[in-house]
């Protein structure tokens, strides 16, 4: 599922979504220092873009055809650290974000912000735009310390899915929270080598010293040393300043659950700022995983009854998100009886294949899921027929089919077959107990060769099914996957 991250900063949100299995394909921000860090840690590009220019952004972002847009518009104007003037410019970016989403209309979007956004008119405006665009909305304030982050950081998340009902994710977002908040000792053990540390308070009415046996307070964009004159506060967990120090920049990035190897390059001030801006990676992953599970369940539910849209066969559950996106795209299905009328004998006949000429890279290829037990029968030569599922997309040039590669669930593709004949038949030809009137596309196939030494884990997008793909395209795609 293609995800685009807006206001990406150094990539906390992106990384969490990647860790939950999403494919982030592009990201945007207008701060070069953050883009530099982002680009030195991810394979896909993060580009400079002023996201207040909605028209230009819609054009640029649409070029990635995202299935999901995620983003945390700047929150200084709403956050308790800022001036709280939502009309001083940056608050508008929340509305611009909503405008971009409602113009591109990805099936799913996520908006992250500080919890104070709940009290603003900008959120009311943004919500209205989302509703008018047809999104069902769910939102929640999450405390990161209950989502695998050793930090009390409250953040607002809104998830929108086209055509859904409001509140669809509310319980799911609560269900996975941990029972207890995570402390620094839970996360780091004793590896920090300290028991207490200093974090500069906003006012001396508040304490500045914290214990590693509690979640850290919110990691902010500035990190100050402990002033010589700091006096122990009544709420400090220790009575002496001896050995108490502020956390290092690296430690603060680790509390934001960036991995140890995440590469922060740039000035200290910039790095502190982008670390403080970031969505903690594990918090982003928590939200992303909740969405992924929800999409899987949604796919299953819709599979049991919606005839109009492309629904997923149980065999394709491994690709839940892809399937849900397919559903949201309303892919039309093959009407087998109509195809049978159009091609009463067969759709294609490639019986005269001349194997001596080697492979013809220009020929069209069908990649389609075959259940594990059936693949074994194919591979040991017990069967030479493949019948499609009932929910076969009609976006296919049936009369161009030539090669076939079975997609093995959880593994990908490896073996190449010729399609000798493609026709309408029935499952009954293979399974005698099946209804003969249960029409399917049937392919009589012949093994050509094992194309790859091991299975290539390509993403099988069922609505695409690689039917308008040539053998050359699939080889190029697999080489790209390998980074060749």
Q: Among residues 57, 75, 147, 478, which one is catalytic?
A: 75
Q: Are strands 412-413 and 385-387 parallel, antiparallel or unpaired?
A: unpaired
Please confirm, yes or no, whether 8 is among the known catalytic residues. Answer: no
If residue 472 lies in a helix (H) or strand (E), which one and from where to where?
helix 471-481
Q: Which of 68, 159, 279, 324 binds ligand SAM (CB under 6 A)?
A: 279
Looking at the Cβ atoms of 264 and 298, the one nearer to ligand SAM is: 264
Q: Does 156 bind ligand SAM (CB under 6 A)?
A: no
Q: Which is nearer to ligand SAM, 12 or 393 (CB)?
A: 12
Stretch of 224-232, 272-280, 309-317, 346-354 lying at the interface with ligand SAM (CB under 6 A): 272-280
Is 91 a binder of ligand SAM (CB under 6 A)?
A: no
- C-alpha distance across the termini of the chain, in Å: 23
Nearer to ligand SAM, 66 or 74 (CB): 74
Q: Shortest gap between Cβ of 167 and ligand SAM (angstroms)?
A: 25
Q: Give the separation between CA 210 and CA 234, rounded to whole angstroms.
A: 12
Q: Beta-strand (E) ranges in 307-375?
A: 348-349, 364-370
Residue number, 7 or 417, with CB nearest to ligand SAM: 7
Tokens 């680009």 belong to which residue?
39
- DSSP 8-state assignment for residue 3: E
Q: How many other C-beta atoms are found inside a 10 Å radius of the C-beta of residue 365?
A: 26
100 binds ligand SAM (CB under 6 A): no
Q: How far is the CB of 169 from ligand SAM (least distance, A)?
A: 19
Q: Does 278 bind ligand SAM (CB under 6 A)?
A: yes
Q: Interface with ligand SAM includes 52 (CB under 6 A)? A: yes
For the record, the structure tokens of 183 come out as 């402390």
Q: In the structure encoding, which two tokens stand for residue 450, read together?
A: 């094992």
Strand partners, 413: 407, 456
Distance CA 295, CA 297 (A): 5
**Residue 283 makes contact with ligand SAM by CB under 6 A:** no
> Binding to ligand SAM by residue 160, rule CB under 6 A?
no
Which of 3, 13, 104, 327 touches ligand SAM by CB under 6 A? 13
106 C-beta neighbours (distance < 10 Å), count: 26
- 37 binding ligand SAM? (CB under 6 A): no
Q: Find the radius of gyration of the CA atoms of the chain.
A: 27
Q: Put residue 483 in one of left, alpha, beta given phi > 0 → left and psi -120 to 50 → alpha.
A: left
Kindly tell me which of 76 and 384 has the beta carbon lying closer to ligand SAM.
76
Among 1, 3, 10, 413, binds ligand SAM (CB under 6 A): 10
Tell me the residue ranges of DSSP E strands in 7-126. Answer: 23-29, 46-48, 68-71, 108-114
Shortest separation between residue 151's beta carbon and ligand SAM, angstroms: 14
Give, as ranges, the residues between 58 and 87 that touch ligand SAM (CB under 6 A): 72, 74-75
Binding of ligand SAM by 389 (CB under 6 A) = no
Give the range of 274-282, 289-297, 322-330, 387-395 binding ligand SAM by CB under 6 A: 274-282
Residue 150 as a binder of ligand SAM (CB under 6 A): the answer is no
Nearest approach, Cβ of 277 to ligand SAM (angstroms)? Answer: 4
3-state SS assignment for residue 163: coil
User: Is 135 buried (19+), middle (13-18) or exposed (0-12) by CB count in 10 A?
Assistant: buried
Q: Does 40 bind ligand SAM (CB under 6 A)?
A: no
Buried b (16+ CB within 10 A) or exposed e, 300-319: bebbeeeeebbbbbeebeeb
The helix or strand, by DSSP H or E, that contains position 257, with its residue range, turns out to be none
Give 51 or 331: the residue with its C-beta nearer to ligand SAM: 51
Angle at 199 between CA 193 and CA 203, to 5 degrees: 160
CB of 75 to ligand SAM, least distance (A): 6
Work out whether 12 is an interface residue with ligand SAM (CB under 6 A): yes
Q: Which is nearer to ligand SAM, 72 or 91 (CB)?
A: 72
Q: How far is the CB of 218 from ligand SAM (least distance, A)?
A: 13
Interface ranges with ligand SAM (CB under 6 A): 7-13, 29-31, 34, 49-52, 72, 74-75, 93, 277-279
């Amino acid at each position: 599922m293609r995800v685009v991250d807006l206001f990406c900063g150094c990539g906390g949100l992106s990384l969490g979504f990647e860790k939950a299995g999403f494919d982030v394909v592009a990201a945007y921000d207008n701060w070069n220092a953050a883009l530099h860090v982002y680009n030195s840690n991810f394979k896909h590009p993060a580009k400079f873009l002023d996201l207040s220019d909605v028209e230009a952004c819609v054009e640029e972002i649409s070029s990635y055809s995202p299935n999901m847009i995620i983003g945390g518009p700047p929150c200084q104007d709403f956050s308790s650290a800022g001036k709280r003037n939502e009309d001083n410019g940056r608050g508008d970016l929340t509305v611009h974000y909503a405008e971009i989403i409602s113009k591109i209309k990805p099936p799913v979007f996520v908006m992250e912000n500080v919890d104070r956004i709940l009290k603003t008119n900008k959120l009311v405006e943004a919500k209205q735009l989302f509703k008018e665009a047809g999104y069902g909305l769910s939102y929640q304030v999450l405390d990161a310390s209950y989502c695998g982050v050793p930090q009390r950081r409250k953040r607002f998340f809104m998830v929108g899915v086209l055509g859904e009902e409001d509140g669809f994710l509310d319980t799911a977002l609560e269900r996975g929270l941990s029972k207890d908040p995570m402390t620094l000792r839970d996360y780091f053990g004793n590896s920090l080598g300290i028991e207490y540390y200093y974090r500069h308070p906003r006012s001396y009415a508040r304490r500045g010293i914290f214990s590693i046996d509690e979640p850290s307070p919110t990691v902010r964009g500035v990190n100050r040393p402990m002033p010589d004159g700091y006096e122990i506060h009544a709420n400090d967990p220790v009575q002496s300043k001896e050995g108490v120090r502020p956390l290092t920049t690296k430690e603060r990035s680790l509390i934001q659950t960036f991995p140890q190897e995440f590469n922060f390059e740039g000035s200290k001030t910039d790095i502190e700022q982008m670390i403080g801006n970031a969505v903690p990676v594990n918090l982003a992953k928590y939200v992303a995983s909740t969405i992924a599970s929800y999409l899987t369940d949604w796919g299953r539910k819709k599979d049991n009854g919606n005839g109009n849209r492309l629904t997923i066969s149980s065999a394709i559950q491994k690709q839940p998100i892809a399937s849900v996106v397919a559903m949201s795209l309303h892919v039309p299905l093959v009407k087998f009886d109509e195809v049978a009328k159009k091609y009463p004998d067969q759709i294609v006949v490639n019986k005269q294949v001349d194997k001596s000429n080697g492979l013809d890279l220009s020929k069209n290829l069908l990649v389609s899921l075959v259940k594990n037990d059936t693949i074994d029968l194919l591979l040991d030569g017990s069967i030479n027929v493949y019948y499609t599922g009932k929910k076969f997309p009609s976006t296919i040039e049936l009369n161009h089919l030539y090669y076939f590669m079975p997609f093995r669930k959880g593994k990908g593709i490896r073996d190449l077959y010729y399609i000798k004949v493609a026709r309408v038949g029935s499952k009954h030809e293979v399974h005698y107990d099946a209804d003969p009137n249960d029409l399917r596309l049937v392919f009589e196939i012949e093994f050509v060769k094992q194309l790859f030494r091991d299975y290539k884990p390509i993403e099988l997008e069922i609505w695409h099914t690689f039917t308008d793909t040539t053998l050359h395209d699939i080889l190029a795609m697999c080489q790209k996957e390998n980074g060749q």
